[in-house]
Structure 1
Amino acid sequence: MAYKLKEVTIRTNNSEEGIKNISDIWKDIVSGKLPILFDSEHVFQQGISPISKYSNYSSDENGDYDLTIMAVTVDFFQKMDEEVSKGFYKKYDEKDESGEISVCTRKAWEKVWSEQKSGDIHRTFTSDFESTVPGEYTKDGKPHCYLYVAVK
């Protein structure tokens, strides 16, 4: 009997070791070792997208937090866009012209941190969401990083 996970959570931070742990868990998900994108028999699960949820912050982006990787459907993004329109979240969309998904992700978070430092946004540090999309799945052929950051 095949099974799949809806989500997996680790406690981590933005240290070098923490970033390595995040990379390692993503490798396990993409390979099917952790059955979120694939079921336990390595059958790809249609209609889902993997996203990262950052929550349970001990302080801010400099402290520990929970990283949950979840499988969501398209309605998740519709609900998040509604939260943006209500002012509960700010949405970021960064892409990388050279095709590096890690670069667009870094650009997106650096924009958040810059706006936070300048006072342009006030984060709540409740739950933030990240969706990275490889270029082969986007209309413009460039990788994108979409962030939904909880704001006051």
Structure 2
Amino acid sequence: MSYSLSSVTLRANNSAEGLAAVGALWGDVTSGKLPLLFDSEGQFQPGVSPVSLYHNYAGDERGDYDLTILAASSGFFAALEEKAAQGTYRKYEAEGEDLSACARNAWALVWADQQSGVLCRAFTEDFESTVPGAYTKDGKDRCFLYIAVKP
């Protein structure tokens, strides 16, 4: 009998060691070692996209946080778009040469807006989704962030 996970969580931070642990977790998910995108038999789960949920912040981006990788369906993204339209989240989008560069570029935008006072983060739940160029109309890798804002 095969099984799959709906999420997996890691306590991390933005130190070199924390980011290495995050990278290792993503490696386990994308390789199928952790059956989130694939079931325990190695079969890809259609309609599932991986999404990072950053939550349980110990303070701000300099402290510890929980990273949960979710197996999300298309309806999940529609709900995030609605929350962004309502002003609960601020949406950021960036491109890059690869998925890591996309994520770095997107987070740089967040931190610049935060530092300038344009963005007042709530540090409750933030979401990240990266899309390889093979799945975009223009062939470019993209990263989408939905950052919770203070009311």
Q: When the two structures are superposed, what TM-score results if normalisation uses the length of structure 1? A: 0.97
Name the structure 2 match of 1:142: 140
Distance in structure 2 (CA, Å) of the matches to 1:8 and 1:50: 11
Q: Helix, strand or coil for the counterpart of 1:19?
A: helix
- Return the offset for 1:53: 0.2
The one-letter code of the counterpart of 1:95 is: E
1:94 to 2:126 alignment: no
- For 1:30 and 1:77, how far apart are their aligned partners in 2? 20
Cα deviation, 1:65-111, whole Å, max 9, x if unaligned, reads 00000000010010001000110000011012xx3111111010011
| SS of match in other structure, 2:50 | strand
Other-structure match for 1:82: 82
> 2:130: which partner in 1?
132
What is the correspondence of 1:40-51 to structure 2 with a 5 Å cutoff?
A: 40-51=40-51
Count of aligned pairs between the two proteins? 150
Q: Helix, strand or coil: the match of 2:11?
A: strand
- Is 2:94 aligned against 1:122? no
* 1:63 and 2:63 are equivalent in the alignment: yes
1:72 aligned partner, one-letter code: A
Q: Partners of 1:2 and 1:46 in 2: how far apart? A: 15
State the match for 1:29 in structure 2: 29
The structural deviation recorded for 1:33 is 0.5
> For 1:36 and 1:104, how far apart are their aligned partners in 2?
22
Partners of 1:103 and 1:119 lie apart in 2 by: 24
Q: Helix, strand or coil: the match of 1:116?
A: helix
Calculate percent identity across the aligned residue pairs.
55
Task: Name the SS for the 1:61 alignment partner.
Answer: coil
Partner of 1:72: 72
| CA–CA distance in structure 1, aligned partners of residues 61 and 7 of structure 2 | 22
Q: CA deviation at 1:122?
A: 0.3
Greater than 6 Å deviation, 4+ residue runs? none
CA distance in 2, matches of 1:122, 1:144: 24
Gaps of 5+ in 1: none
